[in-house]
Chains A and B, each alone.
Chain A
Amino acid sequence: MTTVLNPAGPATSAGPAPAPGRSHRRSGSVRQRIEIAVLMTPALVLFLGFVILPVVLAAVYSLYNLPPAFRWEHLADPERFVGLANYERAFGTPEFVRAIGNNFFILIASLLVQGPLAIGIALLLNRPMRGRSVLRLLIFVPYVLAEVIAGLSWKLLLQPQGGVNAALEAIGLGEWRQNWLADPDIALWTLFFILTWKYLGFAIILMLAGLQGVPEELAEAAAIDGASWWQIQRHITIPLLGPTIRIWAFLSMIGALQLFDMVWVTVAPTVRSMSTETMATYMVQQGQFAGQPGYGSAIAVILFFISLIVALVYQRFALRRDLAGAITRGVR
């Protein structure tokens, strides 16, 4: 009776179980299958209905030219079927090509700026010092804040008459004042600064966690051999931090490609469409606000494939050894 509910599954229960009768075993496995079916059905229905089906539907919609409030009849209308025209249009639209460029700008700039910065700060915070836990907590605060709250706060600070410009003037740097979020030439840089402020804490916490896994003995041994603090960091700590850095970079890349909320909240629509549009904001703008669900779906599919390709390539070349034995087991 105890074998019936064995969580290890049929493979183990069938093997060394003490001489189970043939009919008994079959009824056991049938029962188990029913059990699995009953327990999995809700999750499976949810997953298929709310993840897989919408993805498939988006791909279908992307082949049509649809009005804002469309019905199933529109999909049956041969005149609405436009094939790959929506995709052609997307790649022929300078705004969308720029949006892709912006995503990759944020992606690369995040890796180049946030990565070294986070590692450096994490190394500093990993040394014993007074008030270390308070510092760690403070650095993590921006990440804990809700995106919209952080975005709105920066938006207010960066107004032409806002706090940042007032502060610059107060310390005699009046000629540095800018229309930080209203000038299309610098809005993307301002946005990148806000994103760095927001997500640096997360990177630092990850790196700090990774540093806890670096054995103290190695550093001590190196120190006995006469290695300097810099040499220890360069040749021991950072290489051993590799898995953490690679995972952080992966999360950062996906975040950069899917970037939506911070842009949507902080940058006014006009400036956004002139200089800081991302694929996701362009998708919402065109699909929802310009009333073109077909075209918006095509953008969504493009975004999906770009993210997928980046993720697969990265996994193949950078993450493989970290994940070996986990999700890539059996893949050679």
Chain B
Amino acid sequence: MNRRSTMRLVTLTAATGLALASLTACSSGDGGGGEGGGDGEVTITWWHNGTTGPLPQVWEEVAQEFEADHPGVNVEQTGYQNEELQRTLIPNALAAGDPPDLFQVWPGGELRDQVENGYLMPLDDEIPDTIESVGAAVNPWQVDGETYAIPFTFGIEGFWYNTDLFEQAGIDAPPETFDELLDVVEQLKDAGITPIAVGAGDKWPAAHWWYQFALKSCSPEALEAAEAESDFSDDCWVEAGEQLEEFLAIEPFQEGFLGTPAQQGAGSSAGLIANGQAAMELMGHWNAGVIGGLTADQQVPEFLGWFPFPGIEGAAGDPTAALGGGDGYGCSSEAPPECAELLEYIMSEEVQAKFAASGSGIPTVPAATESLEDENLKAVADGLAEASFVQLWFDTAFGTTVGNAMNEGITNLFGGSGSPEDIVTKMQDAAATQ
């Protein structure tokens, strides 16, 4: 008979439930910032891109060692797939105002964006010695002279090649000039071997060819104007496209390259190298690991070798300049001071040496380079040491919007539609929308 009061009770319960839910939502939102409680407990959340190979293990050990040295500090580290982390997770976490404390920071345009929005902690006063220890490698992670993140690995791009196939085609030594590279392509073709694999389906691996031509054609002033002011008026940017067009005309790449991915499966460009179906691939310092993951026995093949992109005779650019990039960590502006301490520890010689010894990449602290055991990484590290200067990947350096338009223009050229001028026009149009 008491239905009315039952009804009231239900209503009341529902209302209270809703109110409670919204309250807890607020409080969990506040707690996520890692401020910690009043009892001295601090939790540092750390997002990185170590998901395969030995890297996740390295970071897990680093987190445990840091916790052991700093009682009351918890480190929660999580590895995410690189593009997922960069394109989705971190931008969303930053925009939502609930970022992790320590996270991967990509240099160039994205860094500038994050700094403008005040998302990152300036590190110069926190850990000056650490910044100094990596030298010039930190430059891409600086904005107006202030450091916002520190790279723990940095490497350059070059040719990963199959020494067995080179031998089979009668090639004694890797090419040292661009003309020699053209000869090598001819010799390989004559021997019935696909000279170069390119993962043009993913856009950026194709774009890197144009980057190399631009780097070798553009004077340092032209590069500076492009990066600082999005000024692409120098003729060298068109010249790069013309050189690429000429290079494409000799058909150095595998069949159907427009649909080839870079890293996924046996049909990818890295897979073609791994399975001996193509002789070389222009790719970054991480490629040995990718190739190793695509062989039948999951080992980096014995035949793998590395040489830098050769200089082009008579071009305005520096022949020993190299293209490269790296991975860096920065702290959120809301992170506790322990975040900088963790970063300092990650950048310590001890951890850097462990990172190098694991074969995960080339460390940025010079003393740790000696701990490199992998022959291919050693070759890349030597190439890095010999390069007169290192230009950051253009798509990273110019920012996402220009980079995206640039890569699209370049892949159009690869596909036979569009001209060298179209690439520059696309870049200028994209720069104008910003």
B203: Cβ under 8 A from any A Cβ: yes
B341: Cβ under 8 A from any A Cβ: no
**Residue interface mask B190-213, A partner, CB < 8 A = 1:** 000000000011110010000000
Given known pairs A179-B255, A182-B260, the reply for A270 and B201 (CB within 8 Å) is: yes
Residue contact B113 to A184, C-beta cutoff 8 Å: no
CB-CB < 8 A to A69: which residues of B?
A: 90-92, 94-95, 113-114, 117, 119
> How far is A34 from B13 in the complex, measured between Cα atoms in Å?
13
Residue contact A268 to B202, C-beta cutoff 8 Å: yes
Residue contact A270 to B117, C-beta cutoff 8 Å: no
Range class of the A interface residue count:
35 or more
Which of B117, B119, B404 contacts A290 (CB under 8 A)? B404
A288: Cβ under 8 A from any B Cβ: yes
Given known pairs A38-B10, A184-B417, A270-B414, the reply for A288 and B88 (CB within 8 Å) is: yes
B433: Cβ under 8 A from any A Cβ: yes
> How far is A71 from B95 in the complex, measured between Cα atoms in Å?
6
A103 nearest CB across to chain B (Å): 20
Within 8 A of B (CB), among A207-236: none
A244: Cβ under 8 A from any B Cβ: no
A241 nearest CB across to chain B (Å): 40
Chain B CB count within 10 A is highest, among A1, A65, A269, A288, for A269
**Residue interface mask A56-93, B partner, CB < 8 A = 1:** 00000000010111110000000000000000010000
Q: Which residue of A has the minimal Cβ distance to B201?
A: A268
**Residue interface mask B134-162, A partner, CB < 8 A = 1:** 00000000000000000000000000000
Residue contact B267 to A161, C-beta cutoff 8 Å: yes
Given known pairs A68-B110, A292-B401, the reply for A268 and B259 (CB within 8 Å) is: yes
Given known pairs A34-B11, A179-B255, A182-B259, the reply for A273 and B408 (CB within 8 Å) is: yes
Given known pairs A34-B11, A182-B201, A289-B404, the reply for A271 and B4 (CB within 8 Å) is: no
Residue contact B201 to A68, C-beta cutoff 8 Å: no
Which of A35, A41, A183 contacts B256 (CB under 8 A)? A183
Within 8 A of A (CB), among B247-284: 254-261, 265, 267
> How far is A69 from B120 in the complex, measured between Cα atoms in Å?
13
Residue contact B87 to A160, C-beta cutoff 8 Å: no
Which of B90, B117, B200, B256 contacts A160 (CB under 8 A)? B256
Residue contact B91 to A290, C-beta cutoff 8 Å: no
Residue contact A274 to B415, C-beta cutoff 8 Å: yes
Which of B4, B90, B95 contacts A70 (CB under 8 A)? B95
> How far is A65 from B434 in the complex, measured between Cα atoms in Å?
8
B396: Cβ under 8 A from any A Cβ: no
A31: Cβ under 8 A from any B Cβ: yes
Which of B91, B258, B433 contacts A183 (CB under 8 A)? B258
Residue contact B412 to A68, C-beta cutoff 8 Å: no
Within 8 A of B (CB), among A113-166: 156, 159-162
Residue contact A159 to B267, C-beta cutoff 8 Å: yes
CB-CB < 8 A to A35: which residues of B?
A: 7
B14: Cβ under 8 A from any A Cβ: yes
CB-CB < 8 A to B95: which residues of A?
A: 69-71
B419: Cβ under 8 A from any A Cβ: no
Chain B CB count within 10 A is highest, among A67, A160, A286, for A67
Q: Which residue of A has the minimal Cβ distance to B109?
A: A291
A74 nearest CB across to chain B (Å): 9
A245: Cβ under 8 A from any B Cβ: no
> How far is A182 from B199 in the complex, measured between Cα atoms in Å?
12
Given known pairs A71-B117, A289-B87, the reply for A271 and B94 (CB within 8 Å) is: no
CB-CB < 8 A to B119: which residues of A?
A: 69
A181: Cβ under 8 A from any B Cβ: yes
> How far is A267 from B203 in the complex, measured between Cα atoms in Å?
12
A14 nearest CB across to chain B (Å): 19
How many residues of chain B are within 8 Å of chain A by beta carbon? 49
> How far is A181 from B258 in the complex, measured between Cα atoms in Å?
9
Which of B4, B408, B433 contacts A65 (CB under 8 A)? B433
> How far is A285 from B401 in the complex, measured between Cα atoms in Å?
11
CB-CB < 8 A to B91: which residues of A?
A: 68-69, 291
Q: Which residue of B has the minimal Cβ distance to A1?
A: B3
Chain B CB count within 10 A is highest, among A41, A156, A267, A289, for A289
Residue contact B11 to A38, C-beta cutoff 8 Å: yes
Which of B88, B259, B408 contacts A181 (CB under 8 A)? B259
CB-CB < 8 A to A161: which residues of B?
A: 255, 267
Residue contact B401 to A291, C-beta cutoff 8 Å: yes
B392 nearest CB across to chain A (Å): 17
Within 8 A of A (CB), among B86-140: 87-88, 90-92, 94-95, 97, 110, 113-114, 116-117, 119
> How far is A31 from B8 in the complex, measured between Cα atoms in Å?
9
A4: Cβ under 8 A from any B Cβ: yes
A162 nearest CB across to chain B (Å): 8
A228 nearest CB across to chain B (Å): 49
Given known pairs A270-B203, A270-B414, A289-B87, the reply for A68 and B259 (CB within 8 Å) is: no
B411: Cβ under 8 A from any A Cβ: yes
Residue contact A184 to B433, C-beta cutoff 8 Å: no
> How far is A99 from B248 in the complex, measured between Cα atoms in Å?
27
> How far is A268 from B267 in the complex, measured between Cα atoms in Å?
12
CB-CB < 8 A to B408: which residues of A?
A: 273
Which of A31, A183, A286 contacts B7 (CB under 8 A)? A31
Within 8 A of B (CB), among A237-272: 267-271
Residue contact A31 to B412, C-beta cutoff 8 Å: no
CB-CB < 8 A to B88: which residues of A?
A: 288
> How far is A163 from B161 in the complex, measured between Cα atoms in Å?
28
Which of A68, A159, A290 contacts B405 (CB under 8 A)? A290
CB-CB < 8 A to B10: which residues of A?
A: 38
Residue contact B256 to A270, C-beta cutoff 8 Å: no
Residue contact B113 to A34, C-beta cutoff 8 Å: no
Which of A67, A159, A267, A273 contacts B411 (CB under 8 A)? A273
**Residue interface mask A167-199, B partner, CB < 8 A = 1:** 000000000000101111000000000000000
B400: Cβ under 8 A from any A Cβ: yes
CB-CB < 8 A to A38: which residues of B?
A: 10-11, 14
Residue contact B415 to A270, C-beta cutoff 8 Å: yes
CB-CB < 8 A to A288: which residues of B?
A: 87-88
A20 nearest CB across to chain B (Å): 15
Which of A41, A89, A270 contacts B258 (CB under 8 A)? A270
Give 10 A-B contacts (CB < 8 Å), ordered by A residue. Answer: A41-B14, A156-B265, A156-B267, A182-B201, A182-B257, A183-B256, A184-B417, A269-B202, A270-B411, A289-B404
Known: A181-B259, A270-B259, A292-B433. 12 other contacts (CB 8 A): A38-B11, A65-B434, A69-B90, A69-B91, A69-B113, A156-B265, A267-B259, A268-B260, A270-B258, A273-B411, A291-B110, A291-B400
**Top-6 shortest CB links A-B:** A268-B201, A182-B259, A291-B400, A290-B404, A160-B256, A182-B256
